[in-house]
Structure 1
Amino acid sequence: MKRIPSALLLLATATACAQEPLYTAKDLTKENMFSTNIEGPNFDKAGNLYVVNFLKDGTIGRISTKDGSGEVFVTLPDSSIANSIQFTSKGDMLLADFKGHNVLKVDMKTRKISVYAHSDRFSQPNDLCINSKDQVFASDPNWKKSTGQLWRVDKGGKVTLLAADMGTTNGIELSPDEKTLYVNESAQRKVWKFDVDAQGNISNKRLFAEFPDHGFDGMKCDKTGNLYLTRYGKGTIVVLSPSGEQLREIPLKGKSCSNLVFGGKDGKTVFVTLQDRKCIETFRVEVAGKKF
């Protein structure tokens, strides 16, 4: 059998990726591989994909981006259930534990789980984003009352309330330059933006976008600052420019899109968690995520 030079194989793979249609959703995993609380996809520095609630609630799954297979990476203690995953600059995994009112930390080498931050004033840490100083910003909705709060968690787990008296705060994301914080309210269908100073304090709240129907969930920025927002119930990802202009809307196969993350070697593959299908869909984009 004639062997094909590795350089040609790499070129063929790159060409195939380049020819893959943009903004066209396809399945990565099979349906029903997760619980209905599938959420919080994120990558570690080595390119491994982690997603909460693999097979059942209370787990973190490690998912192959090649064939969609998965394994349980850790099972959370004390009936905790995670909703979001972020990684610190040192590589520790942080989890929004909405059941235990915690932000949990997972040592990726030992897989030991500890409480990184806790407050009795948390309703339920829901979604997280993190800056280059390892300051964590957390949305904290009270679904029954349709209200919400915003918190900052500094190194060591110190918590600071940044904003109260909001709607049902859900998706949260920093702009690439970390000077703008975006927060959406699911029930109110509004996206707000705040200025962020060097200490991680927020100010100058103003309305960024508003929609007449369907809910919101997670959201992420690309390198140019465009915001990819899940339209929960509609089954689309809407892309908004830094000025709030709607650039496009990407249809998915499922309807209950809960969160997304940019990944792949070039950062131009978007991975979306679907709660109705209990699986992960992907699509290709033109601009890489902000971390690439």
Structure 2
Amino acid sequence: MKNLVFIMVGFLIGNLSGLSAQKPFYESYDVTPDSVFMTWAEGPAVDTDGVLYAVNYGQKGTIGLVKPDGTHELFVNLPEGSVGNGIRFWKNNTLLVADYTNHNILQINIPEKTISVFAHNDQMNQPNDLAITSEGVIYASDPDWENSTGNLWMIDKDGNFTLLESGMGTTNGVEVSPDEKHLYVNESNQRNVWVYDINEDGTVANKRLLKKFEDYGMDGMRCDIEGNLYVTRMSKGTVAVLSPEGDLIREVVLKGDKPTNVAFGGEDGKTVYVTVADRGAIEAFRTEIPGRSISLMKLWNGVEDR
């Protein structure tokens, strides 16, 4: 777990907008028009070729992709009854999808577009968002929206579940720190962001409050390689950037009101893509620091700096 090296320069991967590197920092712009994705667009994830994937492309139960030239198309239809939420890239050209209706973690072979169940657990309310370590340990948030409660799960490389904590608030966004020593989990309705220490076996300990917001809820969140946390602020229409100590560095104002999740990409790893539910669209903004997920994929895929 501790062998992940985060490279701070040379993130020469594909770019969803050829001019994105020239745009001002922290100013949102459109990647897609409205209604390309349904309301409650979610995901997203960007691969090392610059292709962005997000769920609910035109209808529920789908995953769409947006190419570096800005064109978009259907990628796959999920199995009948399955609806995706958070998605993450994994090793060997695999995409992991939280299937919140069927209590599954699905895996998709990207070149072949084949879909299988990686893990299933009827005890889950719904897998919502996913985080993953360099060694393939998966963390899943599990909210019960009706009762404003939730759980936190760990899933090992063989698909076995361990309940890390129950009786939480409405667990939603989840992320691993770049040094893989900490796990972040937020509770949407309670407006809390918690941080845990990650033990050698992947379990967590020493829970403490990183940040409590006074208003508006939260959804997905991701880290950059310096450990800053980018948190979507549902109904406020912003992405809050928190330091590793929980200090609010800035809030990036979006065009839409309901951001659901973020992903880093772009030719240098410094473009933050945001799924925006009320618009059914994807926005983006430039940041000064590359994302953790880009380094993780480069490590797995053996992509060298050029």
- Structure-2-length-normalised TM-score: 0.88
Provide the rounded CA distance (Å) in 1 between the counterparts of 2:25 and 2:90. Answer: 31
Matched, 1:65 2:56: no
CA distance in 1, matches of 2:202, 2:174: 14
1: distance between equivalents of 2:39 and 2:48? 27
Taking structure 1 as reference, are residues 20 and 166 closer, same or farther at Cα in structure 2, changes over 3 Å only?
same
Q: CA–CA distance in 2 between the matches of 1:149 and 1:102?
A: 15
Map of 1:167 onto structure 2:
169
Map 1:215-254 to 2 at 5 A.
215-254=217-256
In the TM superposition, 1:47-66 aligns within 5 A as: 47-66=50-69
Unaligned runs of 5+ in 2: 1-17, 296-306
Q: What percent of counterpart residues are identical?
A: 50
Equivalence for 1:119: 121
Whether 2:159 is the aligned partner of 1:176: answer no
SS of the residue corresponding to residue 88 of structure 2 reads: strand
Provide the C-alpha distance between the structure 2 equivalents of 1:253 and 1:186, rounded to a whole number of angstroms. Answer: 21
> What is residue 87 of structure 1 aligned with on the other side?
89
Number of the residue aligned with 1:76: 78
Between the aligned partners of 2:174 and 2:210, the Cα distance in structure 1 is 13
Query: Pairwise CA RMSD of aligned residues?
Result: 1.3
Determine the C-alpha separation between the residues in 2 that align with 1:252 and 1:44. Answer: 23
Structure 1 gaps of 5+ residues are: 1-14
Displacement of 1:45 after TM fit?
3.4
- The TM-score with structure 1 as length reference comes to 0.92
Q: CA deviation at 1:191?
A: 0.4
Write the letter of the residue equivalent to 2:190. Q
Q: How many residues align?
A: 277
> How far apart in 1 are the matches of 2:20 and 2:62?
32
Larger gyration radius, structure 1 or structure 2: 1
CA contact (8 A) 2:186 2:192 kept: yes
Q: 1:47: how far off?
A: 2.8
CA distance in 1, matches of 2:21, 2:41: 29
Question: Aligned with 2:82: secondary structure?
Answer: coil
Confirm whether residue 129 of structure 1 aligns to residue 148 of structure 2.
no
Question: Which residue in the other structure is 2:158 paired with?
Answer: 156
| Cα distance in structure 2, aligned partners of 1:107 and 1:28 | 25
| Cα-to-partner distance string for 1:48-99 (whole Å, 9 max, x where unaligned) | 21111111110011112332x2111110112100001112122211100001
Task: Check if 1:39 corresponds to 2:42.
Answer: yes
Deviations 1:32-53 (A, max 9, x none): 1111121011022333211111
C-alpha deviation, 1:236, in angstroms: 0.5
Is the 8 Å Cα contact of residues 223 and 289 (structure 1) preserved in structure 2? Answer: yes
**Equivalence map 1:179-190=2 (5 Å):** 179-190=181-192
Match of 1:255 in 2: 257
Match of 1:199, as an amino acid? D
**Contact 1:270/1:284 (CA < 8 Å) preserved in 2?**
yes
Amino acid at match of 2:195: K
Rounded to whole Å, the distance in 2 between the matches of 1:138 and 1:80 is 17
Q: Following the alignment from structure 2 to structure 1, what is the Cα–Cα distance between the partners of residues 192 and 135?
A: 28
**Letter matched to residue 176 of structure 1:** P
| Superposition pairs of residues 193-208 of structure 1, within 5 angstroms | 193-208=195-210
